[in-house]
Each structure stands twice: as C-alpha cells, then as structure tokens.
Amino acid sequence: MKKILLVSILILLAALIAGGAWFWYAMQQPLYEPGLARALKNLDAHAQANEPNFWNVENDIRLYHFSDGTGANVLFVHGGPGVPTRQPLPGLKLLNSQFKFHYYDQRGCGKSSRPIEKFASSNFYENMQTLDRTLGLGAQVADIERLRQILGDEKIILIGHSFGGFLASLYAAEFPEHVRALILIAPAEVLVMPPPSGGLFEQVKPLLPDAMQAEYDAYLKRYLDYGSLFAKNESELSGLNTEFARYYAVAAQRKGFGVPPENSSADAGGWMPHALYISMGLRHDYRAALKKVDAPVLVLHGANDLQPEAATRMYADAFPHAEFRVIPNAGHFSFHDQPSEFARLVGAFLNP
C-alpha cells in the first residue's frame, strides 16, 4: 500500500512539474502573431453616433479623439503604453497647414472605453486570454484599421511614437495595402524580445540617483508581480503605471531632457499595458513581418534618448524602404525638444 501511495505521489509531482513547465513555456510565447487582427470578423467601421470627440469602433468600445490642422489625414498613435497625448505636438503643429493630425486615446486608457474593471475568475490562463482578446495587440491593431475606414482613406499616413511606433509597425505589416507612409518616432524596443539592450526598465535604472535605487527596485517588484495581477483592479493598475512616469522623468532629465506636458500620465491605462505585455510574450521576433511593407518609412531617433540608437535603428533595418535620421539635442520626445528640425524632417519626407 505504501509503495502504491509513493508511486501515486511521484506521478502527481511529475504531472505538476510538467504542468508548471508547460505554463512557464506558455507564458513566454506571444499570444499575438501578425495576421491576427486581419483575421477578425468584426473589422468593419461601426456607425458613428453624433459625438464629435468619440469614435465607435465596436458596440461597447468608444475611442476619444481630437484633431488639429487641415489637409491630408494623419493618424497619430501614442505610446506609453497606455499614456495618451493631451494636446497637439509642437513639431506637428508646424505642419498643420498641410495635414490634419488626428490624435486618439487607445482602448483601455485615457478617456476611451476601459472594458475591464476587475476579474472575478481566478483562472490565470483564461484571464490572460481575455486581456489579450479585449485590449491586446490584435485589438489595438484592429482599431487602427477601423479608424482608417472612419476617416475614409484608402491609404493612410501613420505616425507612431514609442510603443505607438511598434503598434503602427504591426498595423503596416498586417494591412500594407492601406499604408501611404509610416513615420516612427523612437519606436519601442519590443520588435524583438528579449530586447538586446535589456529594455526600458533596465535603461532607466542606472540613471537614477543612489537614493532612488532601492525604491525603484521595490516599485518594479510590485509592478511586475504577475502572481497577484488578477487580484488588482483598473484603478490600482493605472496608479502603478502612472508611478513609473516619476522614475522615467528623473532618468530623462539626467540625459538632459524631460517629459513634455502634452504627454500626460495622469490618465494612464491600467489593464491595457499588461494586456500588451501578455499579448507579445517574453519571446518573439516580428521583424520578418515588416518585410512585406512597400510604403516609405521614416524612423527618427533623438540623440539623447534613453533608448539606444541601435534599438531604434532595428526598425529601419527591418523595413524594405526606410530611412533613418538622428535629431541632435533631443531625447525621446524629439517633436517637443527640437520641433523645427522634427517638422523639417517630417515635412520633407511627406512632401518629397
């Protein structure tokens, strides 16, 4: 009897170990693959209500937006992830007599719909899938396609900043026939995971003063505590995401440039950034998907950005028709730090 019990325990332990190994493997794999958004059945633009500052993209999802300028439509995809832009960017305002710039809050952040408040289920994997389906990369890319339809352009000009540059790149990979031109401003170092430089969190740490090091480590431990992720709610996670802005601002100032006021983290997304992290997993390489993009691409990098130049240049190397430009005396927000030079480069690219 003891022998049977021992064998049963060993079998159970083996199953638990195997299950844990599978779960760890599954956690590292991306839930998103290029083509996922294009395969969705509900990609058609929804009927628009008489609300001038909201676009309806699904029955229960409204996206807040505002515009500046006149001329050809340009859709701006903000970064963060989950940190909306609150006013027209200085570098783009210099071009608003030629283009109409549309700014929107991505689903799950800002004034747009936040479809998840709290999870009732304790099933981690099911919750992961719900996050991915509702707020992940596929949902965000699909929204860009719906906005193109709402704007009425067969081919659209996209400008993506930071994580928004990554989203805009994925849109171009999925819908290359609908992209007229693509401008990427310091696109996030997530095209390949793990990131070669270690990523944003690692780039911030060495620039913090000694007095903030332990505090920052404790913050990251709280922020990346995925074991208790689904015990939190939208407000708690939004607060954690907002908290990071303080550390980033200190690090950016050590490089000589801060965070501009038009990039406010006051209404940062809660679940949305984690949905994107889960969606892309810990291991992927999306560079091959960008090879099918025939549209011209401009990749801009601020010389004093926390993000290494090589990380930004990776995007220029992946697209077949890309040009790469470095803006001197600028950080991550080159449109704010050097608006005239930024506008000159963008204007020359869009009006060759």
Q: Residue 242 belongs to what domain range?
A: 54-350
114 is a domain residue: yes
Q: Are 288 and 261 in contact (CB under 8 A)?
A: no
Residues listed for the chain: 352
Considering the domain boundaries, does residue 45 fall inside one?
A: no
The reported pLDDT for the residue numbered 26 is 52
Q: What backbone torsions phi and psi does residue 307 show, to the nearest 5 degrees?
A: -70, 130
- 201 inside domain: yes
Residue 221 lies inside a defined structural domain of this protein: yes
pTM: 0.92
**Domain CATH code at residue 161:** 3.40.50.1820
Q: What pLDDT, on a 0 to 100 scale, did the predictor assign at position 45?
A: 80
Specify whether the CB–CB gap between 285 and 192 falls below 8 A.
Answer: yes
In a domain, 20, yes or no: no
- Please, are residues 312 and 302 in contact by the beta-carbon 8 Å criterion? no
- Break the chain down into helix, strand, coil percent, rounded to 5: 45, 15, 35
Tens digit of each residue's pLDDT (9 = 90 or more) over 262-287: 666 678 999 999 999 999 999 999 99
260 inside domain: yes
- 28 part of a folded domain: no
Cis peptide before 194 (omega within 30 of 0): yes
Greatest Cα pair distance in the chain = 85
Rounded CA gap, 352 and 344, in Å?
Answer: 11
Look at residue 163 in the predicted model and tell me its pLDDT: 98
Total of domains in the chain:
1
- Residue 81 lies inside a defined structural domain of this protein: yes
* Segment 306-328, tens digit of pLDDT: 999 999 999 999 999 999 999 99
3-state secondary structure of 281: coil
pLDDT means over runs of 10, the chain (352 residues): 42 40 57 94 85 92 97 97 94 97 98 97 92 97 97 97 98 98 98 93 95 96 93 96 93 87 77 96 95 97 96 98 98 97 98 83
- Distance between start and end Cα atoms, the chain: 83
Look at residue 14 in the predicted model and tell me its pLDDT: 43
Q: What tens digit of pLDDT does each residue of 136-156 get?
A: 999 999 999 999 999 999 999
Cβ–Cβ < 8 Å for 69, 346: no
Q: Which of 256, 267, 261, 264 is nearest to 329 (CA)?
A: 256
